[in-house]
Amino acid sequence: MGFQGWSDAAFDVMVDLDGDPSPVQLESHRDDLERYVRGPLQELCDELNETGEFGKFWLGGMSDRPAAWQRQHATSWIARRIRISFTFDLDGFALGGGSAHPESDQVRRYRAMVDAEDSGGELAGIVETLGRTGFELTGPTAVRMPREYSSDHPRADLLRRRSVYAEMPIDTHDVGLIGKALRPLIELTTWYTDYVVTTGWEKP
């Protein structure tokens, strides 16, 4: 039958898991979580993986932490700390992608490429496209510019960041529309693999 979205039962499970549930409460919801929440998420992964366009999505693992139950996610790792993902929680379904929690060497390389005219201008255009399509950049922005760069740099807003990661809520069960919404994230992760990922960086 394929991916049909999430039923009201999925949100009922998320409501029951809200707050600070005990291990016993978590375990009592395991079957419903697998059936109503993780099941549809796996179906979506399977359909997108068949296209081969976005890499290979994997469901996140479970642990004894409530947060691992309250926010279900699937991720396609493009390279080290670079990914496309989607999540389902009480707020609904959301897409995200880019550089997540970069290492210090990645931050240095990222800023050097933002500073460079061609690669920096390309990233600025990608970020503009993401904004037009409904994505918002997440993560902190430093108040001050890194000391290596001028405060009036044309891409100062990007240089004050350690990386670019974008997220967007999406309210559709149409896999074709989900794939279309993911494509600007492919442009972002491709920018990272073109300009930031260096030889010897291994995929997780």
**Which residue in 21, 32, 36 sits closest to 67, CA to CA?**
21
Those residues with Cβ within 8 angstroms of residue 26's Cβ, 6 or more apart along the chain or in another chain? 17, 64, 66, 69
What are φ and ψ of residue 65, in 5° steps?
-85, 130
* 155-187 per-position pLDDT tens digit: 999 999 999 999 999 999 999 999 999 999 999
CA angle 61, 169, 144 (to 5 degrees): 90
Alpha helices in 140-174 (DSSP H): 156-159
Joined together, the tokens standing for residue 66 give 């409530």
Is the model's pLDDT at 50 over the cut of 70?
yes
pLDDT for 203: 44
Q: Are 34 and 57 in contact (CB under 8 A)?
A: no
Q: If DSSP codes are grouped into helix, strand and coil, which group holds residue 11?
A: helix
The vertex-203 CA angle with 72 and 181, nearest 5°, equals 50
Q: Which of 98, 4, 84, 80 is nearest to 42 (CA)?
A: 4
User: In the numeric block, which tokens belong to residue 54?
Assistant: 């976005």
- Supply the pLDDT for residue 121: 97
| pLDDT over 70 at 202, yes or no | no
pLDDT given for residue 37 in this prediction = 97
Q: Is 107 helix (H, G, I), strand (E, B) or coil?
A: helix
pLDDT above 90 covers a percentage of the chain that reads: 84
pLDDT averaged over every residue in the chain: 93
Q: What is the pTM of this model?
A: 0.90
CB 159 within 8 A of CB 94: no
| Alpha-carbon separation of residue 149 from 28, 111, 114, 163 (angstroms) | 54, 9, 11, 16
Task: Kindly indicate the confidence band of residue 80, based on its pLDDT and cuts at 50, 70 and 90.
Answer: confident
Per-residue pLDDT of 61-73, as tens digits, reads 888 899 999 999 9
CB atoms within 10 A of CB 13: 25
Q: What is the pLDDT of residues 115-161, one digit of tens each?
A: 999 999 999 999 999 999 999 999 889 989 999 999 899 999 999 99
Of the candidates 4, 1, 60, the one whose C-alpha atom is nearest the C-alpha of residue 173 is 4
Q: What is the DSSP letter of 79?
A: E
